[in-house]
Amino acid sequence: MSVASAAPVSQREADFAALLEKVHAIGRDIVAPAADEVDRDARFPREAFAALKAEKLLSAYVPQEYGGMGLDITQVSRLCEALGHYCASTAMVFAMHQIQVACIVHHALGSVFFRDYVRELAARQYLLASATTELGIGGDVRQSICATKIVDQHFILEKQAPVISYGEEADAILVTCRRSEEAARGDQVQVLVRKEDCTLTRLSNWDTLGFRGTCSPGFELKALGHVEQILPVPYAYIHSKTMHPYAHIVWASLWVGLASDALNRARSFVRAEARKNPSAPPISATRLAEADLVLNTMKSALQATLGDYHRLLAGDDPESFSSFAFAIRVNNLKLTCSQLVLDVVARSMVICGIQGYRNDSKLSLGRHLRDATGAGLMVNNDRILVQNATMHIGLRD
């Protein structure tokens, strides 16, 4: 897919290691110092994105022939994990952007318009947002009420979206809708809407427990554009091959980062305690070892799903992505990691005690706890379990 794959493996690995270190440096120097303010004021992490854009990281998943880095899903996952250490909101916005880029890269590069668009995205470091859920549907992203109305090669689109994360900051939004006013609710397409062709009217505020910096209020979206901005394949296919697996992989990645940072705070507490009596490890060290087991389960689940997804992408058999077996595995990753991230943070809290509980301590875990709580709610775990239950009945072997 990318020119990078022609370079020797060791060189590519060295290049990526250097890039990852650069992202950690951005995390330490720019993202982390702003994280508390981003969280407190529920404001967009603008300094983080200025730095990420300066390093051209918004086109990380764009193939090199279009001006991007040509990274693969495993590498993007590592970047999301890295950012998750410093500010989960920043990591979440970055992850959601990469999902939208992947939808275009996987499904739309057969179109002249989208080939030009990704070049433009890479050159100008556009930030892409997503509008999938809709008021009146109840959270099922595979159904839409709104539809493109097509007149003379142009579309008009209106959507009542209960959330659009960083909608006001994005340069463009990918919007799901019915193919036409006659189409069934499940007969969807995905449309690229440019900021300048769209009005967003706020329907609600974003004052939540966690992920406050993602700035995700509800909006009424009104947009128009040329029909070439409609992605050229049905959304059903984009969803099963890209949106669903890619989203759960990058989300799980940043939750691993968040959990790792919580565990690191716990470790520094344990180390300080252990120094007081170097000959006998404190009980908190045992708790730390237990919490690491949980973190390791998250990492293993992520690695397994990444491996599956890599293999399917390499094979590119469209039917394989829509199999129940694969969809269940992807859902299992989400269920496992969204529950365990909260578990790791809670265990770290027990270890750090009052130091973790305080909002003004160096080892504070308040933001981690509030962010981790969101993991099970964004695409509610109960909804996913019900889907899995139905698919298990249909599954053979």
Residue whose CB is less far from other proteins, 32 or 391 = 391
Of residues 183 and 377, the one with the C-beta less far from other proteins: 183
CA 262, 263, 265, 270 torsion-angle sign: positive
Report the nearest approach of other proteins to the CB of residue 394 (Å). 4
3-state secondary structure of 365: coil
Q: Which amino acid is at 240?
A: S
Q: How far is the CB of 247 from other proteins (least distance, A)?
A: 17
31 in Cβ contact with 90 (< 8 Å) = yes
Q: Which residues are paired to 220 by β-bridges? A: 160, 201
Half-sphere exposure of residue 30: CA atoms within 13 angstroms, side-chain side: 18
Counts for the chain of helices (H) and strands (E), in that order: 14, 7
What distance in Å separates the CA atoms of residue 176 and residue 167, rounded to the nearest whole number?
14
For residue 56, count other CB atoms closer than 10 A to its CB.
15
The CA distance from 81 to 351, in Å, is: 23
Closer to other proteins by Cβ: residue 300 or 390? 390
Q: Residue 40 or residue 383: which is nearer to other proteins going by CB?
A: 383
Least Å distance, CB 237 to other proteins, is 10
Could you tell me the smallest distance in angstroms from the CB atom of residue 138 to other proteins?
Answer: 14
- Spatial contact of 238 and 142, defined as CB atoms under 8 Å apart: no
Matching residue, tokens 């933001």: 367
CB of 317 to other proteins, least distance (A): 11
State the DSSP code for 85: T
Q: Which is nearer to other proteins, 90 or 240 (CB)?
A: 240
Tell me which H or E stretch contains 226: strand 219-226
The footprint of other proteins (CB under 8 A) covers 142, 183-187, 236, 240, 319, 322-324, 327, 387, 390-391, 393-397
Q: Residue 336 CB, nearest distance to other proteins (Å)?
A: 21
Our CB check for other proteins shows the closer of 33 and 186 to be 186
Q: How far is the CB of 144 from other proteins (least distance, A)?
A: 12
Nearer to other proteins, 113 or 324 (CB): 324
The residue (of 28 and 383) whose beta carbon lies closer to other proteins is 383
Whole-angstrom Cα distance, residue 196 to residue 171?
A: 8
Residue 344, CA distances (Å) to 155, 340, 349, 351, 373 in order = 47, 6, 9, 11, 12
Output the smallest distance, CB 337 to other proteins, in A.
23
